Amino acid sequence: MAKVVALGGAGHIGSCGVKELVRKAPDIEVVVADYNLAAAERLVADIGGRTSAAFADVNDLPALIRMMQGADVIINTVGPFYRYGELIAKAAIEAGTDLVDICDEGEPTIKILSLHEEARKRGVTVVVGLGATPGITNLMARRGADRLDEVYDIDTAWAWTAVDPKMTGPAIVDHYFHAVTGEIETYRDGNWVKMPAVSNRKAMDFVAPIGLFEVAEVGHPEPVTLPRYIPGVKNVANFGGVWPKSFEELAMSWKKIGLADTKEITVAGQKLPARTVATYVVLALPELAPDVVLNMVSEVVNCYGEFGIEGVVLRAEVRGAKDGRPARFSFGCGAAADVLTALPAVLGALMLVRGQLTGPGVFAPEGIVDQETFFEELSKDIPVEETSTTLIA
């Protein structure tokens, strides 16, 4: 019987992944491995079935490798990935165990991709960035690209809730500050180039109930990976934003004064990255400023209804040529943040278990996952809309 280790499996995204895995494949043995053993044990008691809990410290590399050995697949949701992504990928390769992660940052994605030859020699398959974004966005882009004779431009985009009550851990907040800070890597005229984060603001049309929403180019893996797998593409950009706007404005004001940076500052005699301070202030806002948070929640509900509390929307637009004519394909979807992020990783793990992904090596989703098979499974829970198909005369 197959065995899957859910690393970070008691966290916000990880616990959702465990539930989805048990729902989709109740016969698979699932180990919920987390630093918070008590939370892992509570989750196991709640789910039951073929689940068990284990303590996992990703900073203890020998113990991490031992835990990975003997499993068929690791699903990793431990972030932020600029700290842990490469480390965990190396551990999985050393353990000889296949890995799926939801890495959502460009720099560690490049480092993990560089392990391709090492993974190939060890017979290990690593799929990096199979979550919502990257993940679904990459495969929507792949779907559009596969319909074109020539691919010129790809835009991927996401808009995310900032008031989800289930986001109680620091990783997602840390990631957001990381994505909107400093220089980011994007793809222009056939070359990777650096540009300031939060550039090129524009409104993009997402699925209901979000609709038109202003986003900006931010740091993410899609421009890092898509040009590696889609021949001829000239430009790839990733756009992102959060709602409500009042939260984004607050975050941008903190960024302006350096609180989103990793530069260390002294707090009560202790050296801490400024971003860590900002992250924990965000997490403490319900206690520090409950009226502000209630106003944010009201703003969200008034605009987007209940979907706005936990929801995320994604979009991918691919432009190129078909039969000698300019053409454009656009796709979109939306769901609760935890399901939209965890379910793709679960589907990838199950595809590995079932022999539907052929490696070995390290791949982004668009380089190894058959998008038709993936979307057939995903659509059972999260439909993907073809928001526009245009053949331009």
How do beta strands 183-188 and 191-196 pair? antiparallel
Full pLDDT tens readout for the chain, 393 residues? 799 999 999 999 999 999 999 999 999 999 999 999 999 999 999 999 899 999 999 999 999 999 999 999 999 999 889 889 999 999 999 999 999 999 999 999 999 999 999 999 999 999 999 999 999 999 999 999 999 999 999 999 999 999 999 887 788 888 888 889 999 999 999 999 999 999 999 999 999 999 999 999 999 999 999 999 999 999 999 999 999 999 999 889 989 999 889 898 998 889 989 999 888 998 899 999 999 999 999 999 999 999 999 999 999 999 999 999 999 999 999 999 999 999 999 999 999 999 999 889 999 999 999 999 999 999 999 999 998 777 665
User: Which of 192, 99, 155 has its CA nearest to residue 388?
Assistant: 155
Q: Tell me the whole-structure pTM to 2 decimals.
A: 0.95
For residue 54, the model assigns a pLDDT of 97
238 - beta bridge partners? 156
| Domains of the chain, first to last | 3-131+338-382 (3.40.50.720), 136-336 (3.30.360.10)
For 255, how many CA atoms within 13 A lie in the half-sphere containing its CB? 18
For residue 138, the model assigns a pLDDT of 98
Tokens of 68: 């990975």
For residue 343, the model assigns a pLDDT of 98
User: Which of 129, 138, 123 has its CA nearest to residue 101?
Assistant: 129
Tokens of 133: 């974004």
269 Cβ contact partners less than 8 Å away, ≥ 6 residues apart: none
